[in-house]
Amino acid sequence: MRARVVGSTLVEVERRVGELEEGLMMGQMGGRAKVGAGAGYVDDDDEDEDDDEDESDSDSDGAGDETNQGAAISTPKLRRHVAQYLAIRQLMERAGADHPFLLSLEPRLQRVRNTLLLDMGAALRQAKARAAATPGKGQSRLLEVVGMYSDMDEGKEVIKALKGGS
Protein backbone atom coordinates (compact mmCIF):
# COMPACT_ATOMS: atom_id res chain seq x y z
CA MET A 1 0.00 0.00 0.00
CA ARG A 2 2.80 2.45 0.89
CA ALA A 3 4.48 1.86 -2.49
CA ARG A 4 1.27 2.79 -4.29
CA VAL A 5 0.96 6.05 -2.34
CA VAL A 6 4.62 6.91 -2.98
CA GLY A 7 4.20 6.09 -6.67
CA SER A 8 1.18 8.32 -7.07
CA THR A 9 2.96 11.10 -5.16
CA LEU A 10 5.96 10.83 -7.50
CA VAL A 11 3.69 11.12 -10.53
CA GLU A 12 1.95 14.11 -8.95
CA VAL A 13 5.27 15.84 -8.21
CA GLU A 14 6.47 15.38 -11.79
CA ARG A 15 3.17 16.68 -13.17
CA ARG A 16 3.25 19.76 -10.95
CA VAL A 17 6.87 20.52 -11.81
CA GLY A 18 5.95 20.40 -15.50
CA GLU A 19 2.96 22.69 -14.95
CA LEU A 20 5.06 25.16 -12.99
CA GLU A 21 7.76 25.18 -15.68
CA GLU A 22 5.07 25.83 -18.25
CA GLY A 23 3.57 28.62 -16.15
CA LEU A 24 7.00 30.19 -15.80
CA MET A 25 7.46 29.88 -19.55
CA MET A 26 10.53 27.71 -19.18
CA GLY A 27 11.44 25.69 -22.26
CA GLN A 28 12.39 22.02 -22.34
CA MET A 29 16.01 22.93 -21.68
CA GLY A 30 15.01 25.07 -18.70
CA GLY A 31 15.59 28.38 -20.49
CA ARG A 32 13.42 31.43 -20.14
CA ALA A 33 11.29 32.84 -22.89
CA LYS A 34 13.33 35.41 -24.81
CA VAL A 35 10.79 38.18 -24.21
CA GLY A 36 12.23 39.33 -20.88
CA ALA A 37 12.70 38.51 -17.23
CA GLY A 38 9.08 39.26 -16.41
CA ALA A 39 7.61 37.18 -19.24
CA GLY A 40 4.33 35.67 -18.18
CA TYR A 41 3.73 38.18 -15.41
CA VAL A 42 2.27 41.15 -17.25
CA ASP A 43 -0.48 42.70 -15.15
CA ASP A 44 -4.00 42.47 -16.48
CA ASP A 45 -6.45 45.21 -15.53
CA ASP A 46 -8.73 42.80 -13.70
CA GLU A 47 -6.01 40.76 -12.03
CA ASP A 48 -4.60 43.20 -9.46
CA GLU A 49 -7.11 45.91 -8.61
CA ASP A 50 -5.03 47.82 -6.06
CA ASP A 51 -2.33 48.58 -8.63
CA ASP A 52 -4.53 50.03 -11.39
CA GLU A 53 -3.72 53.64 -10.64
CA ASP A 54 -0.09 52.80 -9.92
CA GLU A 55 0.37 51.26 -13.37
CA SER A 56 -0.84 54.33 -15.22
CA ASP A 57 1.57 56.43 -13.14
CA SER A 58 4.54 54.17 -13.81
CA ASP A 59 3.77 53.92 -17.51
CA SER A 60 3.77 57.69 -17.92
CA ASP A 61 6.91 58.50 -15.93
CA GLY A 62 8.96 55.39 -16.69
CA ALA A 63 9.30 54.36 -13.04
CA GLY A 64 7.98 50.87 -13.73
CA ASP A 65 10.17 50.16 -16.76
CA GLU A 66 12.32 47.52 -15.07
CA THR A 67 11.64 44.66 -17.48
CA ASN A 68 12.53 44.64 -21.15
CA GLN A 69 8.90 45.25 -22.02
CA GLY A 70 8.28 47.96 -19.44
CA ALA A 71 5.18 46.11 -18.19
CA ALA A 72 4.50 45.57 -14.51
CA ILE A 73 4.98 42.09 -13.10
CA SER A 74 1.78 40.58 -11.75
CA THR A 75 2.25 39.85 -8.06
CA PRO A 76 -0.85 37.60 -7.84
CA LYS A 77 0.52 35.35 -10.58
CA LEU A 78 3.99 35.38 -9.03
CA ARG A 79 2.45 34.55 -5.65
CA ARG A 80 0.62 31.56 -7.21
CA HIS A 81 3.86 30.28 -8.70
CA VAL A 82 5.65 30.58 -5.36
CA ALA A 83 2.79 28.67 -3.70
CA GLN A 84 3.04 25.96 -6.38
CA TYR A 85 6.79 25.67 -5.79
CA LEU A 86 6.29 25.35 -2.03
CA ALA A 87 3.54 22.73 -2.50
CA ILE A 88 5.90 20.68 -4.70
CA ARG A 89 8.58 20.83 -2.00
CA GLN A 90 6.06 19.66 0.61
CA LEU A 91 4.99 16.74 -1.57
CA MET A 92 8.62 15.78 -2.05
CA GLU A 93 9.22 15.77 1.70
CA ARG A 94 6.16 13.61 2.23
CA ALA A 95 7.32 11.08 -0.37
CA GLY A 96 10.88 11.07 0.93
CA ALA A 97 13.23 13.63 -0.55
CA ASP A 98 15.99 11.03 -0.90
CA HIS A 99 14.00 8.99 -3.45
CA PRO A 100 16.05 8.55 -6.66
CA PHE A 101 13.26 9.91 -8.87
CA LEU A 102 12.92 13.04 -6.74
CA LEU A 103 16.69 13.50 -6.72
CA SER A 104 16.59 13.43 -10.52
CA LEU A 105 14.07 16.31 -10.44
CA GLU A 106 16.37 18.55 -8.38
CA PRO A 107 18.07 20.23 -11.37
CA ARG A 108 14.66 21.18 -12.78
CA LEU A 109 13.51 22.49 -9.40
CA GLN A 110 16.73 24.47 -9.04
CA ARG A 111 16.02 26.15 -12.39
CA VAL A 112 12.44 26.87 -11.25
CA ARG A 113 13.78 28.37 -8.00
CA ASN A 114 16.28 30.52 -9.89
CA THR A 115 13.58 31.69 -12.30
CA LEU A 116 11.28 32.59 -9.41
CA LEU A 117 14.12 34.52 -7.74
CA LEU A 118 14.79 36.44 -10.96
CA ASP A 119 11.12 37.31 -11.35
CA MET A 120 10.77 38.27 -7.69
CA GLY A 121 13.87 40.45 -8.05
CA ALA A 122 12.30 42.23 -11.02
CA ALA A 123 9.02 42.67 -9.11
CA LEU A 124 10.94 44.01 -6.12
CA ARG A 125 12.81 46.56 -8.25
CA GLN A 126 9.52 47.68 -9.80
CA ALA A 127 7.87 48.01 -6.40
CA LYS A 128 10.87 49.92 -5.04
CA ALA A 129 10.83 52.31 -8.01
CA ARG A 130 7.09 52.82 -7.69
CA ALA A 131 7.35 53.46 -3.94
CA ALA A 132 10.17 55.98 -4.49
CA ALA A 133 8.42 57.76 -7.37
CA THR A 134 5.04 58.04 -5.68
CA PRO A 135 5.28 58.21 -1.88
CA GLY A 136 2.32 56.47 -0.28
CA LYS A 137 1.93 54.03 -3.16
CA GLY A 138 3.79 50.83 -3.83
CA GLN A 139 4.69 49.96 -0.24
CA SER A 140 2.08 47.20 -0.07
CA ARG A 141 3.43 45.60 -3.24
CA LEU A 142 6.97 45.91 -1.90
CA LEU A 143 5.97 44.16 1.32
CA GLU A 144 4.10 41.49 -0.63
CA VAL A 145 7.16 40.64 -2.71
CA VAL A 146 9.40 40.60 0.38
CA GLY A 147 6.86 38.20 1.93
CA MET A 148 7.27 35.87 -1.06
CA TYR A 149 11.01 35.75 -0.43
CA SER A 150 10.24 34.96 3.20
CA ASP A 151 7.82 32.18 2.23
CA MET A 152 10.59 30.59 0.17
CA ASP A 153 13.06 31.06 3.06
CA GLU A 154 15.28 33.24 0.86
CA GLY A 155 16.31 35.95 3.31
CA LYS A 156 19.80 36.37 1.83
CA GLU A 157 18.36 36.77 -1.66
CA VAL A 158 15.91 39.51 -0.63
CA ILE A 159 18.72 41.43 1.06
CA LYS A 160 20.81 41.18 -2.11
CA ALA A 161 17.85 42.31 -4.21
CA LEU A 162 17.05 45.24 -1.91
CA LYS A 163 20.66 46.38 -1.98
CA GLY A 164 20.55 46.22 -5.77
CA GLY A 165 22.83 43.22 -6.16
CA SER A 166 20.47 41.06 -8.21
19 found inside a domain: yes
Separation of alpha carbons 59 and 70, rounded Å: 8
54 found inside a domain: no
* Terminal C-alpha separation, the chain: 47
32 found inside a domain: no
What total of structural domains would you count in the chain? 1
Q: Does residue 82 or residue 63 have the better pLDDT?
A: 82
91 found inside a domain: yes
90 found inside a domain: yes
Instruction: Please report, rounded to a whole number, the percentage of residues in the chain having pLDDT higher than 70.
Output: 71
39 found inside a domain: no
Domain span holding position 140: 2-23+62-163
Amino acid 21: pLDDT = 96
Q: pLDDT per residue over 15-40, tens digit each? A: 999 999 999 998 654 444 433 344 44
Separation of alpha carbons 127 and 56, rounded Å: 14
Across 8-22, 52-66, 72-86, 98-112, least confident range: 52-66
131 found inside a domain: yes
The mean of the pLDDT values for the chain is: 78
